[in-house]
Amino acid sequence: MTADRLAQVAIRGYLALFFAYLFLPLGVLVGAAFNASRYPTLVPWEGLTGQWFADLLADRLMGEAAWNSLVVGLGVVAVSVPVGTAGALVLSSLHARARTLLYGFLVSPILTPGVIIGIATLIFWNRAFGVPGGLMLTVVAQSSFIAAYCMLLVLARLERFDRAQEEAALSLGASRLQVFRRITLPFLAPALYAGAFIAFLQSFENFNTTLFVVGTDTTLPIRLASMVRQTMSPSVNALAVILIATTVAAAAAYEVLRRRGR
Amino acid sequence: MSELRQSVVVQRMVKRYGRVAAVDDVTLEIERGEFVTLLGPSGSGKTTILMAIAGFVQPTSGDILLDGRAITRLPPERRNFGMVFQGYALFPHMTVFENVAFALRARGRPGEEVQRKVVEALDLVQLSPYAQRLPRQLSGGQQQRVALARALVFTPHLLLLDEPLSALDKKLRADLQLELKALHERVGLTFLYVTHDQDEALSMSDRVAILREGKLVQFGRPRELYERPATRFVADFLGKSNFIAGTAQGGDGGTLAYSAGGLTLRQAVAGAPPAPGAPILVALRPEKIAVVADTPPDTANAVAGRIAQWSYSGTHFQLLVDTPAVGRMIATVPAWRCRIEPATGATVHLGWDPDATVIVAEDASADSPH
């Protein structure tokens, strides 16, 4: 066996291990969702069942948490996309020094630990203004850093924008508002859709920030955490299967649409 | 229509960026219906002047007048000037039709009028079959025409063109030069054109303004600029030129005698000749030099030298001739009547008439060559 061949085998072996590390837990998790055992486990296999999915659908609290997550997610999208876009527009119109400064300021929420953002939001709004923890405050807390992601996406797109298009539109007699609506916005559209998508996902899976500001309400990740802590029901696995399937389907749909658009 | 063809005046415009003056006290008067070109190398301020007229650059001082009225502070969207941008700046998400309709829709014109005017404008640039295409589905030349139609459809006061042909290849550029000139004659609008290409400037313009380091050097008809350049820069930038530095001796009967490199040369002068002893600079076009092999030519000026280098381009020979008296000279001779057989090292005589040359001024600047 030559050294080359040895290296090849080693690389393949490493890859196999790597993918096993990534996907084996998911495989076990998905398998356990269909096992009739009362515990979330693959062995011993006690027979195929849809019981845990039925349990899940019957769980009113879970339904409520899912609904809350959806509402918060849409709320975050509604706040983060406009705020992030505005930030990106301001940034792209600034010059060197001011730009670097403001950029650092706007991106800093991404670098701040989620826990800190959660606590800070709670203290600021609750102590100072008496706003109670809840879905409303969750939207505010999550948006404070998710808006930065939207800003980065829009900013990246703006870098490729030919500003002469805006000048052309102005020279053709369009007002500043018309220029934004008919030239800038259509150009930014893909970044806005991507931003909305990412904002929603970020919001939907957020746990650590949400924990501090959600009050007596509950979102899906919060509900999941408490379920895992209290009992070990395979319906948690069933939920995971649904989330994985939804995510994969959404990603595939996005890719198909994107390819058709080009 | 004619009352809309305004004349534009740039009055003592200055534009500073920090301590650098991009435009330094430029005054330009453009007449109705004229095709005027701002010509200069990069950094000469030509684009800054165009952008100030368009309204995208605010002059540090000075004014832009339209029909005698200052529009310096008027925002670009209220100036009603058509503009063709260097990269065309077509709207990529709109069809050709919608691109051209943009100005009319922005003005809230009724649909019937939009339809009619867009069709007219597309006819003008021969693009009617492409109305429903997207810009990226068109060639560079076609995109250029869309940009023109878009800038003309709303009957602007004037048309500004910022190096509109620079992105095209040479052949297409020559075709579009002719088209642009024909279009100018058809629509009768004032065209203000910016370029660094001297051929474009000479072949299309009624008048050319030559700019250098933010200053207006000379403004006149193309032929006048080529034949009677005011300064060394103009003579050098518009075509090629040989320069002979000499000392004035004396003039009589419209001819000035001057000494250069031990020779006495003659220069035709119209007005009062420079005082004897004054330094002068004479520009001589390469194509105005006669080249003969054996005996000195019977022209008023004759200089002998050796061919240092030569090249053939089909239409003419270009000779680089080293002369002991006036240094290296460039001469171009039409190939079909070249009376010598060019060979490196061969001795030749250069001859020219007193009215073939022109006295030019040195350009006043810290970094001009001396």
Residue among A162, A165, A171 with most chain B CBs within 10 A, to mutate = A171
Are residues B213 and B303 located together in one domain of the fold? Answer: no
Which has the higher per-residue pLDDT, B258 or B341?
A: B258
Per-residue three-class SS string for B128-165? HHHCCCCHHHCCHHHHHHHHHHHHHCCCCCEEEEECCC
- Residue B129 within a domain: yes
Are residues B166 and B261 located together in one domain of the fold? Answer: no
Check whether B1 has a pLDDT greater than 50.
Answer: no
Q: Which residue has the tokens 């020779």?
A: B263
Domain boundary among B207, B229, B251: B229
Domain at A60-231: CATH architecture: Orthogonal Bundle (1.10)
Measure the CA–CA gap between A114 and A120, rounded to whole angstroms: 10
- Residue B16 within a domain: yes
In the prediction, which pLDDT does B296 show?
76
- Residue B369 within a domain: no
Instruction: Write b or e for each residue in B112-134: b if 16 or more Cβ atoms lie within 10 A of its Cβ, otherwise e.
Output: eebeebbeebbebbebeebbeeb
In the prediction, which pLDDT does A94 show?
86
Contact (CB<8Å) B154/A170: no
pLDDT digits (tens, 9 = 90+) for B121-167: 999 888 999 999 999 999 988 999 999 999 999 999 899 999 998 87
Nearest to B93 among A174, A178, A186 (CB): A186
In the prediction, which pLDDT does A196 show?
94
For residue A150, give Cα distances in angstroms to A157, A240, B258, B361: 11, 27, 74, 60
Residue boundaries of the structural domains of chain A: 3-50, 60-231
Check whether B16 has a pLDDT greater than 50.
Answer: yes
- Residue B189 within a domain: yes
B98 neighbourhood in chain A, CB within 8 Å = none
Span B74-93, average pLDDT: 93
A162 neighbourhood in chain B, CB within 8 Å = 87, 89
Are residues B138 and B115 located together in one domain of the fold? Answer: yes
How many domains does chain B fold into? Answer: 2
Are residues B294 and B354 located together in one domain of the fold? Answer: yes
Are residues B253 and B308 located together in one domain of the fold? Answer: yes
pTM: 0.80
Are residues B269 and B141 located together in one domain of the fold? Answer: no
Q: B279 falls in which pLDDT band (50, 70, 90)?
A: very high
Residue A112: HSE in the Cβ half-sphere, 13 Å Cα cutoff: 21
Are residues B132 and B246 located together in one domain of the fold? Answer: no
In the prediction, which pLDDT does B252 show?
78
CATH number at residue B342: 2.40.50.100
Are residues B96 and B175 located together in one domain of the fold? Answer: yes
Contact (CB<8Å) A162/B87: yes
Are residues B215 and B151 located together in one domain of the fold? Answer: yes
Q: Mean pLDDT, chain B, as a whole number? A: 90
Contact assessment for residue B135 and residue B155, using Cβ atoms and an 8 Å cutoff: no
Q: B369 falls in which pLDDT band (50, 70, 90)?
A: very low
Q: B2 falls in which pLDDT band (50, 70, 90)?
A: very low
Domain boundary among B186, B201, B229: B229
In the prediction, which pLDDT does A226 show?
85
Contact (CB<8Å) B103/A172: yes
In the prediction, which pLDDT does B5 show?
44
Are residues B219 and B285 located together in one domain of the fold? Answer: no
Contact (CB<8Å) B106/A175: yes
Give the residue numbers spanning the domain of B187.
Answer: 3-229
Give CA angle at B231 (B227, B237), nearest 5°.
70
- Residue B368 within a domain: no
In the prediction, which pLDDT does B184 show?
92
A157 neighbourhood in chain B, CB within 8 Å = none
Domain boundary among B205, B229, B253: B229
Measure the CA–CA gap between B249 and B263, rounded to whole angstroms: 12
Check whether B370 has a pLDDT greater than 50.
Answer: no
For chain A, say whether B75 makes contact (Cβ under 8 Å): yes
In the prediction, which pLDDT does A3 show?
84
- Residue B364 within a domain: no
Check whether B313 has a pLDDT greater than 70.
Answer: yes
B82 neighbourhood in chain A, CB within 8 Å = 171-172
Contact assessment for residue B333 and residue B292, using Cβ atoms and an 8 Å cutoff: no
Contact assessment for residue B273 and residue B252, using Cβ atoms and an 8 Å cutoff: no
Check whether B243 has a pLDDT greater than 80.
Answer: yes
Are residues B247 and B223 located together in one domain of the fold? Answer: no
In the prediction, which pLDDT does A261 show?
64
In the prediction, which pLDDT does A262 show?
54
For chain A, say whether B93 makes contact (Cβ under 8 Å): yes
- Residue B132 within a domain: yes
In the prediction, which pLDDT does B275 show?
87
- Residue B365 within a domain: no
Contact assessment for residue B14 and residue B60, using Cβ atoms and an 8 Å cutoff: yes
Check whether B104 has a pLDDT greater than 90.
Answer: yes
Are residues B197 and B271 located together in one domain of the fold? Answer: no
Tens-digit pLDDT string for chain A (262 aa): 688 899 999 999 999 999 999 999 999 889 888 888 888 888 888 888 888 888 888 888 888 999 999 999 999 999 999 999 999 999 988 888 888 899 999 899 999 999 999 999 999 998 888 888 899 999 999 999 999 999 999 999 999 999 899 999 999 999 999 999 999 999 999 999 999 999 999 999 899 999 999 888 889 899 888 888 887 788 888 888 988 898 889 889 888 987 876 5
For B158: left if phi > 0, alpha if psi spans -120 to 50, otherwise beta; the answer is beta
In the prediction, which pLDDT does A224 show?
86
Span B264-274, average pLDDT: 86
